[in-house]
């Protein structure tokens, strides 16, 4: 396979974007519940890359980010990463903290700094859970594929450092990364997240065929 | 004038004093610096994989440990550096995510093992390293002295 070969046609990418737009709607609803604030979303950008260097956040390899890593299991296997750039991570955590205070829960009393840091990371893990969950549900609704994600492992560090092991795996075999770039607006703050889906080499075809079939089914219905 | 040369993932560079070679965002990747202490000439490679035998077709020379070290030495020889006067330093090879589904040394650990084996065969001593752990690193290699500084988020800058 040529590594520059297009995995999905332009029409299929449009369809995927539409699908992910619906997913983003569900994600916004879920985040509204978590944060107890209204969450608006900007239409997500969806793209497929084969060369990880094309990933815009890797422009600055040492950018601090928080990253929730999950595995995909089921009819499509592979890896899932939710990445939130550093500054926005603080905003997200602050919002989650406010939401808990608003609902009469307090998480800061009598805990050590370590516990507090762990709690912050668990907020990001929870957001990773929610975002990955709704997108995979959307994929299921459209493509009839059962895909589940494993429990997230969260780490904060430089973006390239967090991803390089996965990128190295990519460079061994030609793989494809589906990137969903989301922008949520909460209290006038823009929160950008990147969800990277890396289907395993064995499951790429299953995913692509299902996306193709789902699109054809929809075109027929509309036609 | 002092120049800063930036090396990206899978890349490499050679130069002489008083310049600086930088590379950032190292996780499981490993930076190797080779420094000819007599001639103040050296090179840096940002290595991604332990060996090139698993790859098909062409790949950048600095991407894999075996070809990267061979290329660095070759390039340094053209600058009249000699392997007998070279010392090596290693940075990186971390495991960024600790989870129960990862077994064995991981790619970071494999990189370190492979690089050390190659350097041993070439009789180039590894005189310092900052490797392993679960955090990312930025590297600066100063050709005037051969010193290497390692920066990580939330940690003090270390000189090795």
Of A50-54, A97-101, B1-5, highest mean pLDDT: B1-5
Q: What is the mean pLDDT of residues A79-98?
A: 82
pTM higher than 0.80: yes
Name the percent of chain A lying above pLDDT 90. 3
If you measure CA to CA, which chain B residue comes closest to A58?
A: B25
B11 inside 8 A of chain A by CB = no
Q: Which residues pair with B31 in a beta bridge?
A: B46, B91
Supply the pLDDT for residue A104: 63
Residues 6+ apart with CB under 8 A from A71: A77, A78, A79, A80, A149, A150, B101
Supply the pLDDT for residue B102: 56
Chain A: nearest CA to B61, how far in angstroms?
14
> Given a cut of 50, is residue A2 above it in pLDDT?
no
pLDDT per residue as tens digits for the range B93-152: 999 887 645 556 688 999 999 999 999 999 999 999 999 998 999 999 999 999 999 999
List, as ranges, residues 121-150 from B with C-beta within 8 Å of A.
134-138
Cis peptide before B18 (omega within 30 of 0): yes
Burial class (CB in 10 A: 0-12, 13-18, 19+), A29: middle
Instruction: For residue B99, list chain A residues with Cβ-Cβ distance below 8 A.
Output: 69, 153
Burial class (CB in 10 A: 0-12, 13-18, 19+), B2: exposed
Q: Which residues pair with B142 in a beta bridge?
A: B20
> Given a cut of 90, is residue B39 above it in pLDDT?
yes
Instruction: For residue A168, list chain B residues with Cβ-Cβ distance below 8 A.
Output: 28-29, 48-49, 107
Supply the pLDDT for residue A171: 67
Annotation marks residue B29 as catalytic: yes
Sorted by where each starts, the structural domains of chain B and their CATH numbers stand as 4-159 (3.30.1330.200)
A201 inside 8 A of chain B by CB = no
> Given a cut of 80, is residue A58 above it in pLDDT?
no
pLDDT band for A4, please (50, 70, 90 cuts).
very low
> Given a cut of 60, is residue B155 above it in pLDDT?
yes
Supply the pLDDT for residue A121: 77
Instruction: For residue B134, list chain A residues with Cβ-Cβ distance below 8 A.
Output: 155
pLDDT band for A1, please (50, 70, 90 cuts).
very low
Q: Are B87 and B125 in contact (CB under 8 A)?
A: yes
Sorted by where each starts, the structural domains of chain A and their CATH numbers stand as 10-222 (3.40.1550.10)
- Give all strands (DSSP E) within chain A, no chain letters: 39-49, 64-74, 78-85, 147-149, 153-158, 177-186, 189-199
Supply the pLDDT for residue A51: 67
Top-confidence residue, B38 or A209: B38
Supply the pLDDT for residue B151: 95
A162 inside 8 A of chain B by CB = yes
Top-confidence residue, B24 or A43: B24
pLDDT per residue as tens digits for the range A95-149: 777 777 776 666 556 677 777 777 777 877 888 888 888 888 888 888 888 888 8
B22 inside 8 A of chain A by CB = no
Top-confidence residue, B51 or A34: B51
Q: Are B92 and B30 in contact (CB under 8 A)?
A: yes
Question: Choosing from B7, B13, B29, B88, which is the catalytic residue?
Answer: B29
């Amino acid at each position: 396979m040529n590594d520059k070969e297009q995995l999905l046609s332009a029409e299929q990418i449009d369809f995927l974007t539409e699908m992910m737009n619906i997913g983003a709607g569900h994600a916004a609803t879920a985040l509204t519940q978590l944060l107890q604030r209204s969450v608006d979303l900007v239409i997500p950008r969806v793209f497929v890359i084969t060369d990880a260097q094309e990933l815009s956040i890797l422009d600055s390899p040492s950018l601090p980010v928080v990253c929730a890593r999950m595995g995909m299991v089921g009819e499509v296997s592979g890896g899932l990463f939710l990445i939130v750039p550093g500054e926005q991570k603080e905003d997200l955590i602050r919002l989650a903290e406010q939401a808990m205070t608003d609902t009469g829960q307090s998480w800061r009393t009598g805990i050590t700094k370590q516990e507090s840091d762990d709690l912050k990371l668990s907020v990001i893990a929870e957001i990773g859970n929610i975002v990955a969950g709704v997108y995979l549900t959307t994929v299921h609704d459209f493509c009839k594929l059962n895909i589940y994600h494993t429990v997230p492992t969260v780490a904060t560090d430089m973006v390239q450092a967090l991803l390089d092991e996965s990128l190295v795996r990519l460079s061994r075999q030609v793989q494809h990364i589906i990137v969903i770039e989301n922008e949520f607006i909460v209290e006038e703050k823009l929160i950008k997240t990147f969800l990277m889906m890396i289907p395993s080499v064995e499951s790429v075809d299953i995913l692509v065929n299902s996306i193709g079939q789902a699109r054809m089914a929809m075109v027929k219905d509309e036609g | 004038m002092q120049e800063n040369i930036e090396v990206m993932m899978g890349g490499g560079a050679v130069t002489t004093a008083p310049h600086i070679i930088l590379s950032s965002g190292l996780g499981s990747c490993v930076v190797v610096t080779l420094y000819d202490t007599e001639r103040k000439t050296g090179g840096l490679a940002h290595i991604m994989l332990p060996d090139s035998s698993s790859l098909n077709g062409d790949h950048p020379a600095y991407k894999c440990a075996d070809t990267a070290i061979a290329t660095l030495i070759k390039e340094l020889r053209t600058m009249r550096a000699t392997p007998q006067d070279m010392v090596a330093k290693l940075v990186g090879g971390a495991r960024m995510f600790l989870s129960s589904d990862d077994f064995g040394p991981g790619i970071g650990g494999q990189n370190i093992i492979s690089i050390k084996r190659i350097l041993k065969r070439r009789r180039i001593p590894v005189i310092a390293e900052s490797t392993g752990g679960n955090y990312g690193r930025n590297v600066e290699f100063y050709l005037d002295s051969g010193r290497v500084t390692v920066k990580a988020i939330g940690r003090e800058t270390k000189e090795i």
